Structures are given as C-alpha cells and as structure tokens.
Amino acid sequence: MNQLDALKQFTTVVADTGDFKQIEAYQPTDATTNPSLILKAVQKPEYRSLLTDTVAQFPGRALDEITDRLLVRFGCEILSIVPGRVSTEVDARLSFDSNATITRAERIIELYQAQGIHIDRVLIKVASTWEGIQAAAELERRGIHTNLTLLFSFCQAVACGQARVQLISPFVGRIYDWYKKSAGAGWVEADNTGAHDPGVQSVTQIYNYYKKFGIATEVMGASFRNVGQIIALAGCDLLTISPELLATLAQSTAPLTRALDAQSAQALDLTPVNFDEASFRFALNQDAMATEKLAEGIRAFCTDAAKLDQLLLGS
C-alpha cells in the first residue's frame, strides 16, 4: 500500500488545486481552491477557454459577478470529478465586511444551485478575521456551510468552533515558514520536523481541543511544505494537499500510521476557553506570527484577485 492509500484510512484527503485535470489521478474526496490557484490555472492554455467563455456569456455584467461565475465554473468541473465537496472563496477584499461577505457567499451558492449543485457540496471559504467568522456564523444559520481559511492561531480556531462553522483550514506550512524565518541562523531543521514542527503542533493543539470538548467543526490541515508535515497529521479529519505532494505520497510505500486520535484527545487535561470580540482581537494581537501571516495572506489573495480582474477585463 502506498502512503496516499494508507493516509486515506485515517483522514479524508482533499486536493488543493484549481487544476481539475490533475485531480482525478489521486481520487481525493473533496477539493479546495483559492484566488491564487484559480489565477494560476486560467493562465494555462488548457483552462483559458473557461475564462474567455465566461466573459463572453455574460457581456456587460459587473466584474465581481463575472469573477464569481468563473469560480463556480471551476467548482462545477471539480465536482464532476470528486464525490464530495468543493471549497470556493469569497473575495478576500471583503475580509473585514461581514455583510458583504454574506451577500457574496449567497450569490455563489445561488450560482451553484443554478447549475444543479446541491448546497451541501459547496463550502464557502472565508478568511478567519473576526468579521469573517461572524459572517460564517450567520451563513451556517442560513444553511450555507463554510470553510474558514487563513487560520494561524488557537484563538481563531476557538472562535470558529463557537461560531459552529463547518470546517477550518489551519495553515501548517505558513506557520512553519514564519518560525523558520524568525529563527534565522538559529533554526535547526532536525529539531523542527514531524511532531516538533510548529505548524504541526498548532493543528494538533486545535484538533485535540475540538475532540476533547466535542466541537463538531472539522479540522483540515492545509498549506504543506513537505510530506513529513502530512504524515505527522495523519488522523486529522481532513488534509488538503497539493498535487505535487499527493504524487510524492502515491510513490512511497514507507510505513504510515495514525498520529492524531480523537479518543486519545478526550483523555487530555484541557481547559475550555471562550472569546468575545475584544478578547479575540487581543489574543490575535499577542500572537505575532498569526497577526503577520493573516495580514500577509489576505494581501496576497487580494493581489491575485486584482490580477484575475485584469485578466477578465482583458478578455
């Protein structure tokens, strides 16, 4: 058995790509996209027609609507391949506007439904800002399931659990990147791998907390830099993995065993915590890594959203 098949025994495997032609080979259950992945895909010749066709079909429509229609077009193609769900992201430029996020999310769902896609097969991705989490809470109350992304801290995870969001995506690799850069010459790679990787430790803490206190929100580790990070999180509810790392797992027959376990988490001595807006903002502020990576991630997605706008305008 290869490592990918072994991982699937413990964890739902999700493909992290906008390149739906790469997905089928690895037979993931779900797939996730983001503005950067869609931008990368539409610049490939084999996907360019999705962009030009979408623009041609809806002349004179607002740019944000055309963007959402393109995202849904990719999502529908992905859903024709995977048996589960696809995550589609609300424009990151709305990350601090709860009402606008809700409105945009509802339109995305309506576009999917117009294509015959059931609401339960779509997760709306929203940045894990305070405003994003509150928007997600309202969307969940309206029956629209959410995936809270750009999640780097324990306080973000706790607030998402309180909001009863469907799923969170803690970013393993970006946490690792920050600590490695911060340590500089003092970084010792051998001391920060596997269970000692700071990104792995963050997801493990969140997973154990959720399982200890019966929080139903699914934990999906994301943003991996190497296979070791994935192996150290085997047993997490879901892991969203790039095609490159899926290929590496599929080519290896090295042993892979469960690393995270819900029953073990329930035996841990943990204290429940709660966050209101003030305490959330303070806790996030006190976490330099999470503060920096959240801001950086939103900026990067906004930059790529603007680039996608220019491609649409030029078509």
**Active site residue ranges:** 125
CA distance 106 to 128: 18
Q: Is 223 exposed, middle or buried (0-12, 13-18, 19+ CB in 10 A)?
A: buried
Dig out the tokens for 64 from the structure.
């944000």
Strands (E), the chain: 12-16, 30-32, 86-89, 122-127, 146-151, 167-170, 218-221, 238-241
CA distance 45 to 74: 15
Degrees (nearest 5) of the Cα angle 257, 262, 266? Answer: 135
DSSP assignment, residue 60? T
User: CB of 169 within 8 A of CB of 156?
Assistant: no
DSSP assignment, residue 150? E
CA distance 135 to 102: 6
Query: Which residue, among 17, 148, 170, 19, has the nearest Cα to 90 in the 3D structure?
Result: 148
CA 277 to chain centre: 23
235: left (phi over 0), alpha (psi -120 to 50) or beta: left
